């Protein structure tokens, strides 16, 4: 596989690395070389693997995991991996229009509905080249494949999920949004895994950003409804209330 070079995005903002107002929850040493644009999905990032699109180390570990799963009868297929800021912005605005215009929701309710599963642009772990949404490519499945029921007992991806529970961490990949009933933020996503050796320091670097100030500079639909209280809660619940092994 040859490395795939992402284009450099022209759109940029003058950003500062102001400290987040939330108290630190982790003490992981982070790599200060991660720029704000890189953490927000706006930078030129070198990604590897056609249809895989991960940072080099994550890509190599993914191939090892895929090979091991194949030996045991599962075909790990990536549904989504790297998504830049602008792709996430398009997803966000499509859902915002759907909920506010087609479904008649007020903006605040629409935003709450969006963040059940989708991130605010600039805050997605998929911006980092470390996270993947995966299924088993062997079983036949119709409709949306990324629904929890399809990974549960009787679902087409039940076998792969059991295999991942047993093996994924051996390759550095950890479930992000687990089914802990005490966890807040995004709903349970049995398909979303993160390559911890890179994503842990990237999250530590991300926590140094002032997310509210950064989002205030953006102009995608709904940003005028982002209050200080909402963003603080979003950071605490949606960004930081994840599998503790990824903190």
Judged against a pLDDT cut of 50, whether residue 23 lies above it is answered with: no
Q: Provide the pLDDT confidence category of residue 1 given band limits of 50, 70 and 90.
A: very low
Spatial distance between the Cα atoms of 181 and 199, rounded to a whole number of angstroms: 24
Q: State how far the Cα of 100 lies from the Cα of 55, in Å rounded to an integer.
A: 36
Confirm whether 223 is domain-assigned: yes
Mean pLDDT to the nearest integer, 107-121: 97
Instruction: Say how far apart CA 84 and CA 174 lie, in whole Å.
Output: 21
Tally of structural domains, the chain = 1
- For residue 103, what are the domain limits? 3-13+25-246
Look up residue 244 and give its DSSP letter.
G
Note whether residue 18 is domain-resident. no
Helix and strand totals (H; E) in the chain: 8, 6
Residue 20 in domain: no
pLDDT: is 17 or 87 the higher one? Answer: 87
Higher pLDDT, 218 or 13: 218
Give the residue from 148, 206, 199 showing the smallest Cα distance to 176: 199
DSSP lists the bridge partners of residue 116 as: none
Q: Are strands 46-48 and 3-5 parallel, antiparallel or unpaired?
A: antiparallel
Looking up residue 200, the CATH number of its domain turns out to be 3.30.1380.10
Tokens of 207: 């926590």
Q: What is the per-residue pLDDT across 42-97, written as a single tens digit (0 to 9) for each?
A: 999 999 999 999 999 999 999 999 999 999 999 999 999 999 999 999 999 999 99
* Residue 195 counted as domain residue: yes
Residue 210 is assigned to a structural domain of this protein: yes
Residue 135 lies in a domain: yes
Q: Closest by alpha carbon to 193, among 206, 178, 181?
A: 178
Decide if 19 is inside a domain.
Answer: no
pLDDT tens-digit readout, 173-196: 999 999 999 999 999 999 999 999
Kindly state whether residue 50 falls inside one of the protein's structural domains: yes
Long-range CB pairs of 230-233, under 8 A, 24+ apart, other chains included: 230/111, 232/21, 232/22
Residue 32's pLDDT is 62
> In this prediction, what percent of the chain has a pLDDT beyond 90?
87
From residue 169, alpha-carbon distances to 2, 48, 64, 158, 213 in Å are 26, 21, 12, 18, 35
Checking if the pLDDT of 120 tops 50, the result is yes
The CA distance from 243 to 193, in Å, is 10
What pTM, to 2 d.p., does this model score?
A: 0.86
Which residue intervals of 28-136 are DSSP H helices? Answer: 36-39, 56-71, 85-97, 107-114
Query: Region 26-37: what's the mean pLDDT?
Result: 64
Assign residue 233 a region (left: φ > 0; alpha: ψ between -120 and 50; beta: otherwise): alpha
């Amino acid at each position: 596989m040859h490395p795939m070079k992402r284009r450099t995005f022209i759109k940029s903002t003058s950003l500062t690395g102001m400290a987040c107002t939330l108290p630190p929850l982790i003490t992981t040493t982070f790599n200060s070389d991660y720029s704000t644009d890189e953490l927000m999905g706006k930078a030129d990032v070198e990604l590897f693997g056609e249809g895989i699109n991960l940072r080099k180390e994550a890509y190599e570990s993914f191939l090892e995991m895929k090979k091991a799963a194949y030996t045991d009868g599962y075909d790990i297929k990536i549904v989504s991996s790297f998504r830049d800021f602008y792709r996430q912005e398009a997803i966000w605005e499509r859902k915002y229009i759907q909920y506010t215009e087609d479904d008649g929701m007020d903006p605040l309710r629409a935003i709450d509905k969006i963040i059940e599963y989708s991130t605010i642009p600039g805050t997605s772990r998929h911006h980092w080249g470390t996270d993947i949404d995966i299924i088993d490519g062997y079983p036949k499945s119709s409709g949306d494949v990324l629904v929890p029921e399809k990974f549960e007992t009787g679902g087409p991806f039940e076998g792969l999920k059991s295999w991942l529970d047993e093996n994924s961490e051996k390759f550095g990949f950890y479930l992000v949004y687990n089914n802990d009933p005490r966890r807040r933020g995004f709903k349970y996503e049995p398909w979303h895994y993160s390559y911890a050796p890179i994503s842990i320091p990237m999250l530590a670097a991300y926590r140094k950003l002032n997310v509210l100030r950064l989002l205030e500079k953006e102009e995608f639909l709904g940003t005028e409804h982002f209050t200080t209280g909402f963003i603080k809660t979003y950071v605490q619940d949606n960004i930081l209330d994840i599998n503790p092994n990824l903190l």
